[in-house]
Amino acid sequence: MPDPILIASQHILKTAVDDLRGSVDSASADALNWRPAGDDTNSLAVLAVHSMTSTRSWFSVAVGAPLPERDRPAEFLASASGAAELITFVEAMERDCVKLLDRAQDVDWSTVRRTHARPNDASERVSAAWALMHALEHLREHTGQMLLTRQLYDAAGVSR
How far apart are the C-alpha atoms of 148 and 142, rounded to whole Å?
Answer: 10
Fold of 4-156: Four Helix Bundle (Hemerythrin (Met), subunit A) (1.20.120)
DSSP assignment of 23-74 equals: HHTT--HHHHH--BTBTTS--HHHHHHHHHHHHHHHHHHHHTPPPPP--HHH
Q: What is the pLDDT, as a whole number, of residue 116?
A: 83
81: DSSP letter:
S
Degrees to nearest 5, angle at CA 47 with 42 and 52: 160
Q: What is the mean pLDDT of each run of 10 residues along the chain (160 residues)?
A: 90 98 96 94 98 98 96 95 97 98 93 84 86 98 97 80
CA 82 to chain CA centroid, nearest Å? 19
Torsion angle of C-alpha atoms 6, 71, 121, 60, degrees rounded to 10: 20
Q: What is the pLDDT, as a whole number, of residue 160?
A: 44
How far apart are the C-alpha atoms of 14 and 32, rounded to whole Å?
Answer: 21
Task: Report domain extents, the chain.
Answer: 4-156
Does the pTM of the predicted model rise above 0.95? no
